[in-house]
Amino acid sequence: MAKRKSKREYVWLECKECSERNYRTSVSVAEGTPKFELSKYCKRERKHTAHKIRRK
Ligand SMILES: [Zn+2]
């Protein structure tokens, strides 16, 4: 039996500048989709940009 206590979901980290989905991670979605942004390296632009969470 697979019991899930914490609501976690796989999400994409999407570049805000070119919309490239560069990273996949899991976040807690118990209180809705997290709204934070992360500075991540974008392979397409070859620089660090702000990435936002994108649910599937
Ligand atoms: Zn980008």
Q: What's residue 6's pLDDT?
A: 76
CATH number of 8-55: 2.20.28.120
Ligand 1 centre from 54 Cα, in Å? 14
* Cα 21 to averaged position of ligand 1 atoms, centre (Å): 8
Contact 39, 49 (CB under 8 A): yes
Encode the chain (56 residues) as per-residue pLDDT tens digits.
666 667 899 999 999 999 999 999 999 988 888 888 999 999 999 999 999 999 87
| Edge-to-edge strands, sheet with 21-28 | 21-28, 8-15, 47-55, 37-42
- Ligand 1 centroid–CA 7 distance in Å is 29
Residue 47's SS3 state is strand
pLDDT at 37: 92
Provide the 10 A C-beta neighbour count for residue 42: 21
pLDDT at 22: 96
The answer to whether 13 touches 22, Cβ cutoff 8 Å, is yes
Centre of ligand 1 to C-alpha 4, Å, is 34
